[in-house]
A and B are shown apart, each in its own frame.
Chain A
Amino acid sequence: MSYEVLGITVLWIFLFGYLIVASIDFGAGFFSYYSTITGKRHLIHNIIERYLSPVWEVTNVFLVFFFVGIVGFFPDTAYYYGTALLVPGSVAIVLLAIRGAYYAFSAYGSKKNNRFYIMLYGASGLLIPAALSTVMTISEGGYIAVSGDGKVSFLFGKLFTSSYSWTVVLLAIVSVLYISAMFLSYYANRANDSNAFEVVRKYALAWSGPTILSSLLVFFAIRNHNPVHFEQMLSYAWMFIVSFACFLVAVYLVWSRKKLGLSFIFVMLQFGFAFFGYGRAHLPYILYPHLTIYDNFTSEPMALALIAVFILGLLLLIPSLYLLMRLFLFDAKYVQGKRGK
Chain B
Amino acid sequence: MLLSGYDPVMYSRILTSFTLAFHIIYATIGVGVPLMIALAEWIGIRRNDPHYLLLARRWARGFVITVAVGVVTGTAIGLQLSLLWPSFMRVAGQSIALPLFMETFAFFFEAIFLGIYLYTWDRFKNRMIHFWLLVPVVIGSSGSAFFITIVNAFMNAPAGVTVVDGAITDISPFGAMLSPAMPTKVSHVLITAYTTCAFALAAIAAYSLLKGRNHVYHKKALKLTMVSAFVFLIGSAVIGDLSGKYLASYQPEKLAAMEWHFETSTQAPLVLGGILDENNEIKYGLKIPFALSILAHGNPNSEVTGLNDIPDDEQPPLWIHYLFDIKMGFVALMVLISSAFMLVLWRKRQLAFTNKWLLWGIVLAAPVSMLTIEHGWIFAEVGRQPWILHGIMKTSEGATVSDHVDTMLIVFTALYVVLGFTSVRVLIKMFKTNHVEDEMKARGIEEGDGQ
State the A residues within 8 Å of B (CB).
53-58, 60-61, 63-65, 67-69, 71-76, 78-83, 85-87, 89-90, 92-94, 96-105, 108-111, 151-152, 154, 298-299, 301-302, 304-306, 309-310, 313, 316-317, 320-321, 323-324, 327-328, 334, 339-341
Contacts and interface: CB of A to CB of B under 8 A. Distances in A.
B331 interface: no
A306 B176 CA distance: 13
B290 interface: no
A63 B75 contact: yes
A299 B119 contact: no
B257 to A, nearest CB: 31
Given A97-B75, A99-B72, A317-B105, 15 more contacts: A58-B108, A61-B107, A82-B85, A85-B82, A102-B422, A104-B65, A104-B69, A298-B97, A299-B170, A302-B95, A305-B98, A309-B101, A323-B112, A324-B116, A327-B119
Contacts of B174: 305
Interface string B254-277: 000000000000000000000000
B112 A86 contact: no
B408 A71 contact: no
A90 B115 contact: no
Given A109-B65, A301-B172, A341 B73 contact: no
A94 B120 contact: no
B430 interface: yes
Interface in B121-149: 121-123, 136
A57 B115 CA distance: 8
Contacts of B113: 320
Contacts of A305: 98, 173-174
A97 B72 contact: yes
Contact of A341 (B121, B408, B429): B121
A169 to B, nearest CB: 20
22 contacts: A60-B71, A60-B75, A60-B111, A61-B104, A64-B104, A65-B104, A65-B108, A69-B101, A93-B80, A100-B75, A101-B69, A101-B423, A108-B430, A111-B433, A152-B86, A301-B173, A302-B97, A305-B174, A306-B98, A328-B119, A334-B119, A341-B121
A298 B118 contact: no
A321 B123 contact: no
Contacts of A317: 105, 108-109, 112
Given A57-B111, A109-B429, A302-B94, A97 B123 contact: no
Given A76-B90, A93-B79, A101-B419, A71 B100 contact: yes
A87 B404 contact: yes
Contacts of B79: 67, 89, 92-93
Interface string B390-418: 00000000001110110010011001000
Contacts of B84: 82, 86
Given A55-B115, A82-B86, A105-B423, A71 B97 contact: yes
Contacts of B86: 78-80, 82-83, 152
A98 B415 contact: yes
Nearest to A333: B123
CB-CB nearest 4 A-B residue pairs: A75-B93, A72-B97, A104-B68, A82-B86
Q: A65, A71, A73 — which one has the most chain B CB atoms within 10 A of its CB?
A: A71
Contact of B68 (A80, A103, A309): A103
B82 A78 contact: yes
Nearest to B171: A299
Interface in B374-397: none
B445 interface: no
Contacts of B97: 68, 71-73, 75, 298, 302, 306
A100 B71 contact: yes
Given A104-B65, A302-B98, A327-B120, A75 B76 contact: no
Which DSSP category, helix, strand, loop or mixed, fits chain A's interface? helix
Given A83-B402, A320-B113, A90 B100 contact: no
Contacts of A100: 68, 71-72, 75
Nearest to A106: B426
A60 B71 CA distance: 8
B89 interface: yes
A316 B68 contact: no
B429 A110 contact: yes
Nearest to A74: B93
Contacts of A94: 411-412, 415
A72 B91 CA distance: 10
Contacts of A102: 422
Nearest to A93: B76
A96 B72 contact: yes
Of A64, A73, A328, most B-chain CB atoms within 10 Å:
A64
B68 A101 contact: yes
Contacts of B93: 71-72, 74-75, 78, 298
Q: Which of A63, A90, A304, A321 counts the most chain B CB atoms within 10 A? A: A90
A235 B80 CA distance: 38
A21 B90 CA distance: 29
Contacts of A108: 61, 64-65, 430
Contact of B105 (A109, A152, A154, A316): A316
B364 interface: no
Given A63-B75, A75-B91, A100-B72, A327 B116 contact: yes
B100 A82 contact: no
Nearest to A53: B119
A90 B411 contact: yes
B334 interface: no
A110 to B, nearest CB: 7
Nearest to B61: A108
A71 B64 CA distance: 30
Nearest to A319: B112
B190 interface: no
Contacts of B108: 58, 61, 65, 313, 317
Given A75-B93, A151-B401, A109 B171 contact: no
A72 B101 contact: yes
Given A60-B111, A299-B171, A67 B82 contact: yes
Nearest to A63: B75
Contacts of B116: 54, 323-324, 327-328
B407 to A, nearest CB: 8
